[in-house]
Amino acid sequence: TCCVPEPWFDAFPKAAIATPHSSFLPHASIDFIKAEADGLRLRGGGKAKEEPILCRLKKGGANFEVMCVAGMVEKYREGHASRDEVLVSPEIFKDCKTGDRPAGEDLEKAFGTDDVSACVDVVLDKGEFQLTVAERKKKTEE
């Protein structure tokens, strides 16, 4: 028998369903579970060993966020990583935790285009991003 309630069963990939004596989705965060349920294409199938970091940009009176692999935004800005290596999902969000995506007119107002790819590039180039504990420790030691 499965420990996942019936309504949730179809929202998860079969490999992610836990057995009664194992932990439930040990390497997936709630954001990954929500994204998987919403049908977003996630890098690595949504089974990351680390939580993604958020790169945020406030522009045109609205917040825009993209989910990134920890430690990769700086490498991208230095030219050592491609955009596909950095992004967990190619989507842009108003709020990653709720999965809210901006409307086309919000993107047009803030970025001058409704092309999601171009907007993601701007957020990656100019947005603020979180550092992992290890990255913060390394920076303070330098």
Q: Which pLDDT tens digit goes with each residue over 57-109? A: 999 889 999 999 988 898 999 999 999 999 998 999 999 888 899 999 999 99
How long a stretch of residues is the chain?
142
Percent of the chain surpassing pLDDT 70: 65
So what's the pLDDT on residue 132?
A: 80
User: Which structure tokens are listed for 70?
Assistant: 């920890």
**Average pLDDT of every residue of the chain:** 75
Q: Amino acid letter at 6?
A: E
C-alpha 50 chain-centroid distance: 11
Do the Cβ atoms of 36 and 46 come closer than 8 Å? yes
